[in-house]
């Protein structure tokens, strides 16, 4: 990799982040690589001159993420417009998206600079929320958009259409529209299928549906999905990647489709999707 600008994003809550960050910044600077730190990472190192995360993603050639899958999801949304590659270092627990174990950090960086890696492109979603014909919010996500009820116990009602064709009125705690990457996140907990990320598809997974015949539905990756909140439900939300919340009121429609942008994850040739599944989900060794 010819890159000389590496942006670093961290999740400071992990205790090992600070010493790891100190070590990796020193290692990169010794190799004359420009290190860009966001304000959080700069503060961890007591350095001045950290920049906003959006600026970081606009300047860096690669994003190095020290954290868990949540930090990667944040990085994916930041990097979406420029599609810059992301290398995730797992400081968290489960870690479906983080490629590198902490004890293998420096050999992995050596391999990246030696061009010994592959790019794993992941489908992303984009959404905009319509209210009375106007767009009131928009966003992009790697995992999912979840439309769910407020704090009250009652269900919400959603009208679902695909490519303009009415599908169903769903009474449930909510609906997850997920990418294949997001199939191992909230959708899986709600009973959705696991989809290999190479399959270009979207998954609609109801959350605790009132009618048991409402099952997860897999649709082609190029369709447009309209989800309209038909019940009067104070506190209903559209949540993007579990991190960004958009308030929805009766009559609002979330229009969801695949984004033109892709998340580019740095992978190493010997790492295999099914091996990650087997390890993370603790399946048998056969």
- In this predicted structure, what is the pLDDT of residue 286? 61
| 206-209 contacts at long range (C-beta below 8 A, 24 or more positions apart) | 206/170, 206/172, 206/174, 206/175, 206/176, 207/146, 207/148, 207/172, 207/173, 207/174, 207/175, 207/176, 208/155, 208/172, 208/173, 208/174, 209/170, 209/171, 209/172
Angle at 32 between CA 50 and CA 64, to 5 degrees: 50
Residues of the chain with pLDDT under 70: 1-3, 94, 152-153, 286
- In this predicted structure, what is the pLDDT of residue 150? 74
In the chain, CATH 2.60.200.30 covers 125-260
In a 10 Å sphere around its CB, with 0-12 CB exposed, 13-18 middle and 19+ buried, how is residue 226 labelled? Answer: buried
**Among all chains, which residue has been given the structure tokens 């605790």?**
208
- In this predicted structure, what is the pLDDT of residue 2? 60
- 176-215 confidence digits (pLDDT tens): 999 999 999 999 999 999 999 999 999 999 999 999 889 9
Q: Is 103 a catalytic residue?
A: no
CATH superfamily entry for domain 5-117+268-280: Probable inorganic polyphosphate/atp-NAD kinase; domain 1 (3.40.50.10330)
According to CATH, the topology of domain 125-260 is: Tumour Suppressor Smad4 (2.60.200)
- In this predicted structure, what is the pLDDT of residue 272? 86
pTM of the model: 0.93
Catalytic residue among 38, 61, 69, 173: 69
- In this predicted structure, what is the pLDDT of residue 153? 66
- In this predicted structure, what is the pLDDT of residue 14? 81
- In this predicted structure, what is the pLDDT of residue 154? 78
- In this predicted structure, what is the pLDDT of residue 98? 87
């Amino acid at each position: 990799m010819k890159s000389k600008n590496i942006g670093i994003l961290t999740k400071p809550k992990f205790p090992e982040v600070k010493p790891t960050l100190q070590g990796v910044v020193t290692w990169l600077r010794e190799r004359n690589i420009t290190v860009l730190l966001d304000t959080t990472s700069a503060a961890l190192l007591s350095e001045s001159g950290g920049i906003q995360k959006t600026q970081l993603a606009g300047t860096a050639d690669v994003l190095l993420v020290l954290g868990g899958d949540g930090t990667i999801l944040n990085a994916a949304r930041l990097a979406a417009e420029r599609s810059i590659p992301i290398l995730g270092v797992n400081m968290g627990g489960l870690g479906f998206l983080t490629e590198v174990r902490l004890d293998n950090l420096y050999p992995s960086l050596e391999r990246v600079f030696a061009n010994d890696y592959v790019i794993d492109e992941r489908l992303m979603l984009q959404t905009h929320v319509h209210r009375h014909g106007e767009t009131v919010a928009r966003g992009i996500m790697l995992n999912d958009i979840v439309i769910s009820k407020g704090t009250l116990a009652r269900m919400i009602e959603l009208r679902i259409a695909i490519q303009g064709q009415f599908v169903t009125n769903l009474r449930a705690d909510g609906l997850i529209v997920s990418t294949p990457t997001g199939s191992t996140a909230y959708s899986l907990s709600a009973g959705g299928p696991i989809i290999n990320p190479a399959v270009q598809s979207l998954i609609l997974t109801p959350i605790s549906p009132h009618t048991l015949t409402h099952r997860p539905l897999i649709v082609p990756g190029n369709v447009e999905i309209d989800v309209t909140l038909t019940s009067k439900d104070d506190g209903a939300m559209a949540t993007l990647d579990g991190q960004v919340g958009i308030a929805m009121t009766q009559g609002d429609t979330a229009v969801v489709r695949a984004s033109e942008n892709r998340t580019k994850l740095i992978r190493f040739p010997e790492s295999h999707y099914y091996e990650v599944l087997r390890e993370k989900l603790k399946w048998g060794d056969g």
